[in-house]
Amino acid sequence: MPPGQPITMSMHDLNQMAAPVDDSLPPRDVWQSLKRGWRQKCPCCGNGRIYGKFLKVNDVCSSCGTELFHHRADDAPPYFVMTITGHVIVGGILMTEKMFAPPVWVELAVWLPVTVLLSLWLLPRVKGALIGYQWALRMHGFGNPAFDNDDLSRLPSAEPEAVK
């Protein structure tokens, strides 16, 4: 490519990079998976718990054995929670201010705890829904035959971090 000429990329180029879709696999119900994840249950069976601790996802469903370690929730759940919480809290503050005009200390005493509690309540539900969504769309190894039959014991063990 000559210098100074822009690099172009078409949708055809992106389609070649996408993971192949196996049309022989049955479709998964996205809404059902989202609801099961919201309830913090396994997106496959709806019975097993998705978390072992507050936000620590179990490697495998205790009920049906579905592997859950494929998830890649990363920073999306906190971003969604901040967006939802911000809209709810700002709307509440504006309504309260317009209707009652309380002193600032009252607003802080009410809205700061509500913000924290709403965020802590939403975070595991949003993360569970995102994991359910990834499972339903067979993203990141969920439903990919190349990954699904791997034995968990073959995964590399986590090295303990040295404390300085």
Measured CA to CA, the distance from residue 142 to residue 136 in angstroms comes to 8
* Number of domain units in the chain: 1
Half-sphere exposure of 11 (CA within 13 A, CB side): 0
Measured CA to CA, the distance from residue 135 to residue 34 in angstroms comes to 9
pTM: 0.76
Domain contains 14:
no
Domain contains 22:
no
Domain contains 21:
no
- Domain span holding position 73: 28-150
Q: What does the block give as tokens for 112?
A: 């700061």
Query: Is 99 or 6 the better-scoring residue by pLDDT?
Result: 99
pLDDT (tens digit per residue) in 32-80: 999 999 999 999 999 999 999 999 999 999 999 999 998 998 899 999 9
Cα–Cα nearest to 30, from 43, 19, 46: 43
Q: Answer whether 114's CB lies under 8 Å from 92's CB.
A: yes
Q: What does the block give as tokens for 129?
A: 């829904």
pLDDT (tens digit per residue) in 16-42: 444 455 667 888 999 999 999 999 999
Domain contains 5:
no
Domain contains 46:
yes
Q: Give 84's contacts (C-beta < 8 A, 6+ positions apart).
A: 122, 126
User: What mean pLDDT do residues 3-25 have?
Assistant: 57
pLDDT at residue 134 in the model: 94
Domain contains 104:
yes
